[in-house]
Amino acid sequence: MGSTLWRVAIRPILIAGDPRLATLAVAVTVFDDELAGFVDDLFETNTAANGAGLAANQVGDPRAVFVYDLVEGGVRHRGHVVNPVLETTELPETMPDPDDDLEGCLSVPGEWYPTGRAGWAKVTGVDIHGAPVEVEATTGLLARCLQHETDHLAGRLYLTRLIGRNQRAARKMIKRRGWTEPGASWLPGTEDPR
């Protein structure tokens, strides 16, 4: 019996304006070596981009899977979730704090905007083998990341969650950057997307 060797690859990350970022992800039904290799590629791409998380559609793949890898309070949180389902407390109705609620995105490189997110989040799903997975975050960056990545898989960039002056500033930035046409991407580790 031989085993399939997968070469881990850093994949180009799509930039805002590409319709694949606004498309609902499809459920994963095949749990095989190809899926495992793809998740490795997501981790490698996320690391090369200095990201906290990365969803499959950000690299042009329609499957419902994301990875996360971040340090919060001295603790490293690293994992992946296939076919995630998100639960949260209520979203805040007030204007996000310009210092504490800043959020960025690898598909909106070099830009940060205050974004309202729930303080508690839990994602359930499965791993690359189909075994149950549950990730819960009570505060902070991990809770924000879980919401951000599941938003991606629902076809939603964090920019759509912006309100007031932040929403207006983001619209102007998209036009200024020329991110209104599909097909723009950047390759982590080889170019500066800003």
Annotated binding-site residues for Fe cation read 105, 148, 152
3-state secondary structure of 102: strand
Catalytic annotation present for 149: yes
Report CA-CA distances (Å) from 185 to 3, 31, 107: 33, 28, 8
Question: Which residues line the annotated binding site?
Answer: 105, 148, 152
Residue 107: closest CA among 18, 25, 190: 18
Q: Angle 74-145-83 (CA atoms, 0-180°, nearest 5)?
A: 125
* Active-site position among 44, 93, 149, 181: 149
Q: What is the DSSP string of 138-169?
A: SSHHHHHHHHHHHHHHTT--GGGG--HHHHHH
Residue 179: closest CA among 16, 10, 14, 19: 16
What amino acid is encoded at 118 in this protein? A
- Going 73 to 43 to 154 to 28, the CA torsion angle's sign is negative
Active site residues: 149
